Amino acid sequence: MVAPGLRVPLEGKVAIVTGSTRGIGRGVAAALAANGAAVVLNGRRAEAAERQVAETTRDGGRAVFVAGDVGEAATADALVAAAVGEFGRLDILVNNAGLTDTSGDFLTWPEERIDQILAVNLRGALLCAQRAARRMVEQGDGGAIVNITSVGGSQRAHHNNVVYDVTKGGLDALTRALATDLGPAGIRVNAIGPAATADAPPEGRGGDLPLRRGGTPDDIAGAVLYFVSDAARFISGQILYADGGLMAQLRSPRR
């Protein structure tokens, strides 16, 4: 999966993509590698990771895999260590890892599940951003962080998905705060809010969007490529909704 029609020069760049063994993360990692970046992959599915590394290297790309839950500081440390140890530097972080099977009645939602969602979706992004930014500051030549957020969170909400929306709203706030604090070091921080995205959107999915179709990982990968490219060198603290027009419409069309 490579975003069609968009090519950016990323040779010599090194990227970390969390949650990259499937879906959006897999598409983003493939697009970065296809454009010349060395990529540190991450996830908890070893079999899928092995296939992904093999596919990337077979096509001439460079990739390594770091297993682990990004909600744990040790995983964030290991990701940066792998980037520096294998490829010598770190230029790009894509905070994509997130739990999406999160809907449920807020009144009866188990505390353990709340903690798990908060840890992976929000704490993990914060930890990875902190570790990555430390390395970028040490290198002294800037960098780019892209957070994968959602159409639900800071501006809108999903029905029966309180904890998920809390984490995504937090990611939006994290994006703005990091852009403010890391800007003096030349580190740009932006976010992308996808909607109705799947490897192969089922029939009818996205039919209520203005573009009348669901999104694919390639659609999101194209937005990531833009944010990490020099074309976006003066853009930071922004949230781009790659959502088929969802955020623009007042309500879904009547059929």
CATH number of the structural domain spanning residue 174: 3.40.50.720
- Residue 105: C-alpha distances to residues 92, 122, 235 (Å): 37, 20, 38
Within-domain flag for 210: yes
Asked if pLDDT for residue 203 goes beyond 60, the answer is yes
For residue range 172-194, what is the model confidence (pLDDT) as tens digits?
A: 999 999 999 999 999 999 999 99
Q: Are the C-beta atoms of residues 93 and 29 closer than 8 Å to each other?
A: no
Within-domain flag for 2: no
Q: What is the pTM of this model?
A: 0.93
Give residue 252's pLDDT.
66
Range(s) of the domain holding residue 117: 14-246
Within-domain flag for 7: no
Q: Using DSSP, how many helices (H) and how many strands (E) does the chain show? A: 7, 7
Within-domain flag for 5: no
Within-domain flag for 9: no
Higher-pLDDT residue of 63, 2: 63
Q: Range with the lowest mean pLDDT among 27-41, 99-113, 126-140, 175-189?
A: 99-113
Q: Which residues are known to be catalytic? A: 164
Number of domains in the chain: 1
Within-domain flag for 187: yes
Asked if pLDDT for residue 3 goes beyond 70, the answer is no
> What is the C-alpha to C-alpha distance for residues 172 and 155, in angstroms, rounded to an integer?
10
53-85 in b/e form (b: 16+ CB < 10 A) is beebeeeebbbbbbebbbbeeebbebbbebbbe
Give residue 88's pLDDT.
98
Give residue 1's pLDDT.
44
Within-domain flag for 252: no
Within-domain flag for 153: yes
